[in-house]
Structure formats: C-alpha cells, structure tokens
Copies of this chain bind each other. A is one copy, B any other.
Amino acid sequence: MAGGVTEEERRARAALTRVVEPGDEHGGRWLRELGAVGLLRRLTSASYEHDPLTGAGEQRVHGFRARAARADPERDLAAVEACGGRFVVPGDPEWPSQLDDLGDARPVGLWVRGRPDLRRWALRSVAVVGARACTPYGAHMAATLASGLAERGWVVVSGAAFGVDGAAHRGALAAGGATVAVLACGVDRAYPRGHAELIGRIAEQGLVVGELPPGSHPTPSRFILRNRVIAALTRGTVVVEAEYRSGSLVTARAAQRLGRFTMGVPGPATSGLSAGVHELLRGEAELVTDAAEVAELVGDIGELAPPRRGPVLPRDLLDPAGARVLEALPARGTAATAGDIARDAATTVDEALGRLYELHALGFVERLGDGWQLTAQAVRRPNARRGGA
C-alpha cells in the first residue's frame, strides 16, 4: 500500500478530505500549487496574514481553517482500517490514474473498502446508472446489462442508490461478477439505509469507494459531485432510465466531457423515465440494447488497458496472492471454476474471484463458460517482455 507516498502526505490528504469538499476546484488548485502537506500546514498555522490563500476570500479561508483545525486524520485512517478499508491517494500503485482527467476537481484521495485492487478493476469498468424510481423495465435492463457485462469480465460501477443503481450492482453480483459502489458519504456508512445489506455484500465481494472520510453524511451536492467520480473512473457510462434533468444525465454529460463513452438504453417514447435517455441519444450518446453492444463499444478503446493484446504486466511483477491464483489455473485449453482455483490457491472463493478479475483486467486469464482459463498470451512466456520494459 505504500508506493512512493510518504505517511505525512497520506495523513495530510486524509485530513484534507475533511476540509475540501468533493469537486472543489479552488481547493484542488491550492492543493496542486502547495502540495497536500504544504496546504494543510498553511491552513493550520497560527497566522496567515501574507498567505497566498487569502486571495480567495477571507471567509472561505476561515471555513477551510476551521475544518482543518477539527480534522483528525489518524482517527479517520484508523476508522477505515477498522472496517477493513484503506485510504488511496495519487502516487499509490492502486490510484486509478484516469481520475487525473478531472484536473483540479480530482478527488483528494479515495476511501476504499474491499479486497480487489481499485486501479486494476477500474481499467476494465463500465458505469451503469439511472433513475431511483425506475420502472420494472428499467430494473430488468440494468440487471441484465450488469450480468452480461460481468460475464464478459467487465467491472460494473454504480452509485448504490435505489432503482437502476441497485439493480446493476445486484445483476453483477448475481453473475458472480465484479462491482464497485461509489458512495456520496463515508464508506463506513450505508446510504441509502435500505441498501445496507447490498452495500455490505459489495464491500465483501467487490469495492465500496468514496471521497468523503468515515462518518460523513451525503448531501444533494455531494450526490451530484459523486457522479463525476463514476464517470471518470470508468471507460463509459450507460444510462438505463432517466427523466429530464436527472442526476444520471449529469454523470452521462461528465463522461462525455471526459471523453468517455456515453450510452443509453432506449425505452418507450411514452415513458417519462426514458425521456432523459432519449434526449441523450438524440445528442452524442450511443444507443445500446444489450451487454454485447456495450462491451463492443468500450472494448474498442484499448488505450487505458489492452487486454486483447495480452498481459500488461510481466508475470513476476504480480503480487504474491495474484501469482498464487494464476499458478492455480490449469494448462491452457482447460477451464477451472473459481471454487477449484480457490482450493488450489489455498484461499477463499471470494478472494480467488477478486484476483481472477484482476488477472482478467491484466490480460492473464479469460472466461470460458462458467470457468476461467489462461489466455494464449499468458502461456506464451510473457516475462520475455521484461527485457524491453
């Protein structure tokens, strides 16, 4: 978890997640100019007469300083560790560098619960979002798309809300697939309450992430700003059902601005819950009706990760747990179930599945029916590449 990031830097960023609201570009600019440690030092120093920050307005800086004085990063870091989580910051090997596309609105850091590696999962992820008050058709389409994407080795990212989001997470889980919930509150909290059990399962089998420190509450603006993280993290966003002016359209437009694929599932022209999607589709968004169409579209990009071209890492740079799972796969041409692989790797099925999805993102393994097999590239001594790297 260390990488090139100092503990002082990590602590400073943890503190700043209590100071800078998600998406605050002014805060992000100061952070970029002064560094996390430098910014926190200014905000907590006794005097700030000649502080460059004052150019931003006395009152604003006063609020920042008040929040910085109350921040207790050790307590927050301990709290996230207590629920099996961690705090990932830019510079960490696990940091999803596509978030850097957000510029000064980039998250200060991400609070993460769950075993899998966030960066590797995000490399091969698609957002499935939509209306909370969706129709049975919308819930069906979200679940079916998510299952189909999971079966194709794609990670399904959503916001854990009622309606389309929940159906998407459940669809991915039902297919034994990978899913990530991006929350607008602390990752130790379950919001909405009615999704406590679902969010718990996602933390067990997938990832629950958020910008806000443990204990934080969601607010309307935090919901809206959370959407930019969903858009930036993924290769594309599918909107399943959305009214005019809905939050899902914010995610879709953010995805568009970030150069990600924006997709929409059509519905009856008579349905108000499809009106927002149709509006998107009359613009730049692509019409999709099933997971194969989504995968075909987002799979084309190839720039973030080239899974079709074989492993992106030499095999011996895998971490020990990943390497053990890879070793547990039978010779190419034979598939094994996650259960068999877990037994041979001496780990749990959940852990094995998490590692298999990472290995999939890295191009080492692929799905074959209900099982997993080595890719042709994984067999062809990919370590030979290392000399060139």
Contact = CB atoms under 8 A, between A and B. Distances in A.
Contacts of A289: 269, 275, 278
A386 B68 CA distance: 79
Number of copies: 2
Interface string A140-162: 11000000000000000000000
A267 interface: yes
Interface of A: 137, 140-141, 265-270, 274-275, 278, 281-282, 286-290, 293
Nearest to A280: B287
Contact of A266 (B269, B286, B293): B269
A135 to B, nearest CB: 10
A209 B290 CA distance: 41
Contact of A267 (B266, B281, B293): B266
A275 B293 CA distance: 13
A70 B381 CA distance: 78
Q: A140, A282, A286: which has the most chain B beta carbons within 10 Å?
A: A282
A121 to B, nearest CB: 26
A251 B295 CA distance: 30
A50 to B, nearest CB: 58
Residue among A274, A282, A289 having the largest count of chain B Cβ atoms under 10 Å: A289
Contacts of A293: 282
A141 B287 contact: no
Given A281-B281, A282-B286, A140 B266 contact: no
Contact of A287 (B137, B140, B281, B290): B281
Given A137-B270, A281-B281, 11 more contacts: A140-B270, A141-B269, A141-B270, A265-B269, A266-B269, A266-B274, A267-B267, A275-B289, A278-B289, A282-B288, A282-B293
Contacts of A287: 266, 278, 281-282, 287
Contacts of A137: 268, 270
A241 to B, nearest CB: 11
